[in-house]
Structure 1
């Protein structure tokens, strides 16, 4: 019998903590989502800083969770293998803080929760995986055009509860982070 291998500690832990946050949200009628796993403009108490990082763990329901986690589990492990657990964790934390701070700045009356910014950071990071000698991979350009174009269109012309601006922020974070990490390795 083969034993199980916890092959991607950051991504798997992120998944498990997000699942726990979802279950807590369901069990408390959304109280934990509002008070722990959403970010919004509020006084800078210690709880604000928990939400600044923790909003990427919360999800509005099973569909929201499944959509983000399926992509996270497909794209995340190869990125963790390529860049390392510590580097990927830094990328996730930076993306969470940047997207949370921008949410508070530009959309003060709106709650933000969910891992889609992290997922889009990973998608853009993965499109940089083939970068060699400082060259720009064509996959990066195509993914950026298709993804960014779709998100800009949705932000301008589609009314929904989707935080398209934060998807763009996540994608920008992934691109910037990928170039920074690649520059250090060259």
Structure 2
């Protein structure tokens, strides 16, 4: 037995020690000491830390997916940038269909305001059809470069919904500014990604690359001077993306919860849907 007043290990009372666990403050002997990032910890604290870390990891994955999901969906969502990959694969498949079937695919999925009320899917399916190889390659390149980072930041399912909302935002702008024009391409949603990126970086205080503003400005200017480019969709998608990006960034500076992500997407999405219905009725 140790002399009175001498500190002993809480797990081995017969062993003297003057070392404390950095987490709980209990005295631990050399056998019980486990090296931690700072100091040493006792076995119980190390075990509790591992359990808490695993629970936090599972919760983060759940929040990223937007809530509980089935096992098969979870496996797909576990891929790197699953939604961006799926969008690119689907858009490529539609592009192949355009080559094989011709204008029937373009006219079925492109956005045309006078048909918006009767065929509302056109508000978002417009992102799947393109006017040529260069048009397709440019949009998919930007999607590949920007989509995964945003997807990982806000979660796969929220990212998918935001992408559709931005696509619809571009179509709404076309309805208001050029209602008699058939529009094709993912440019509205792509400019929306630019807007989300700008808003997130500005609000979260990360390193902001000013070149992104130059790229956006040049492409907006090109749309104003080329007759076959829908600058209206670019503007609509960009404004929708900026609204989402700044609101998401403001929310994510605090606690990263489902509500922080879904509230901006839900509200902006509801406004865009209401505008879709309005222009469908009026045009």
TM over 0.5: yes
Could you tell me which residue of structure 1 aligns to residue 218 of structure 2? 150
Unmatched 5+ residue regions in structure 2?
1-77, 255-283
Change (3 A) 1:132 1:54: closer
Q: Compute the displacement of 1:148 (Å).
A: 5.2
- What is the TM-score of this pair, normalised by structure 1? 0.82
Change (3 A) 1:118 1:152: closer
Q: Choose between structure 1 and 2 for higher RCO, CA contacts under 8 A separated by at least 6 residues.
A: 1
Change (3 A) 1:75 1:138: closer
Could you tell me which residue of structure 2 aligns to residue 42 of structure 1? 114
Kindly name which structure, 1 or 2, has the bigger radius of gyration based on alpha carbons: 2
Residue of 15, 19, 22 corresponding to 2:95 = 22
- CA–CA distance in 2 between the matches of 1:90 and 1:13? 13
1:139 aligns with 2:208: yes
Give the secondary structure class of the aligned counterpart of 2:208.
helix
Give the secondary structure class of the aligned counterpart of 2:142.
helix
Could you tell me which residue of structure 1 aligns to residue 241 of structure 2? 174
Change (3 A) 1:153 1:64: closer
Could you tell me which residue of structure 1 aligns to residue 172 of structure 2? 101
Give the secondary structure class of the aligned counterpart of 1:20.
helix
Change (3 A) 1:128 1:108: closer
1:33 aligns with 2:102: no
- What is the TM-score of this pair, normalised by structure 2? 0.56
- CA–CA distance in 2 between the matches of 1:124 and 1:101? 17
- CA–CA distance in 2 between the matches of 1:39 and 1:51? 5
Q: Which runs of 4+ in 1 moved over 4 A?
A: none
1:126 aligns with 2:204: no
Residue of 152, 161, 176 corresponding to 2:228 = 161
Give the secondary structure class of the aligned counterpart of 2:114.
coil
Q: How many residues align?
A: 175
